Amino acid sequence: MDLSGKVAIVAGGSMGIGRAVAMLLAQKGANVVVADLNEEGGLETLKGIRSNGGDGMFIQVDVTDWEDITQLVSQTLKLFRKIDILFSSVGVYARARLIDTDEILWDRIMQINVKSAFLLCKAVIPEMVRNQGGSIILSSSSVGWHDSAPNIAAYATSKFAITGLTKSVACEHLTDHIRANCICPGPTDTPMIRGGRSPEELEAFVGSIPIKRLAAPEEIAQAVLFLASDESAYITGVAFPVDGGQTAFV
């Protein structure tokens, strides 16, 4: 798959799945704009892109803030003149039963996981319409496509919302040649999945996964590359599981 001449924004590209996607899209020839709150991680991603011979830039952005997002779009256009691909990896995870979830936690998860995707789409779609094409890939989850589990009411709700948003964008822009899909990763080895778990807890968690291992972020990135590329030209409105059979096993 060749992305030469394409321009991609990777929101949440400072670590985890976002970093793996930013590196892979750049390796396949895209100019990659890494957008994240985390400057240190974002510059590290950019360094990786450049040391592999790729090109891109880092912009520090809070993707829940409309002003920041309009800056992201205008700076991308200034440097690269168009936007072909948007991938958002931005998300936060929290474990709490619904009855223990307070409004502050609920609003935070909806703000970061859902509002950010809405604002990013709202900002890039007019540019994609002008450009007569584009591919948007959002991040849902295996729990946002198929099932849920105890103690993740807010997170699961936010990920089902991403699936709905994806399908809505796909329907509204079919004739603009803009495609919108989301990936639904299973448990993936990133700071998000390791955070707050002791080595023993992580081992027990991995043992509970049908395939008995975490996904590597690079494996998730391959699915994003396919959805970003012209090879998936007839695929839109899809929630794409990349979960090692997890949801098949439920």
Those residues with Cβ within 8 angstroms of residue 33's Cβ, 6 or more apart along the chain or in another chain: 7, 8, 9, 10, 56, 57, 58, 59, 72, 75, 76, 79, 80
In sequence order, the β-bridge partners of residue 96 are 152
246 binds ligand NAD per the rule CB under 6 A: no
Sole window of 78-86, 94-102, 172-180, 190-198 interacting with ligand NAD (rule: CB under 6 A): 190-198
What is the contact mask toward ligand NAD in residues 100 to 129, using x (rule: CB under 6 A)?
------------x-----------------
90 binds ligand NAD per the rule CB under 6 A: yes
Q: What is the DSSP letter of 188?
A: B
3 closest CA partner among 39, 20, 28: 28
Shortest distance, CB of residue 93 to ligand NAD, whole angstroms?
Answer: 6
Q: Which is nearer to ligand NAD, 43 or 176 (CB)?
A: 43
By CB under 6 A, name the one of 61, 85, 128, 227 that touches ligand NAD. 61
* DSSP element (H, E) containing 60: strand 55-60
**Can you tell me whether residue 73 is helix, strand or coil?**
helix
49 binds ligand NAD per the rule CB under 6 A: no
Sole window of 1-9, 91-99, 123-131, 166-174 interacting with ligand NAD (rule: CB under 6 A): 91-99
Looking at residues 193 to 212 of the shown chain, list those that interact with ligand NAD (rule: CB under 6 A): 193
- Give catalytic status of residue 234 as yes or no: no
Q: Residue 139: how many CA atoms within 13 Å on its side-chain side?
A: 26
Helices and strands (DSSP H and E) totals, the chain: 10, 7
**Which spans of this chain sit near ligand NAD (rule: CB under 6 A)?**
12, 14-18, 36-38, 41, 61-64, 89-93, 112, 139, 141, 185, 187-188, 190-193
Hey, which residues are catalytic here? 155
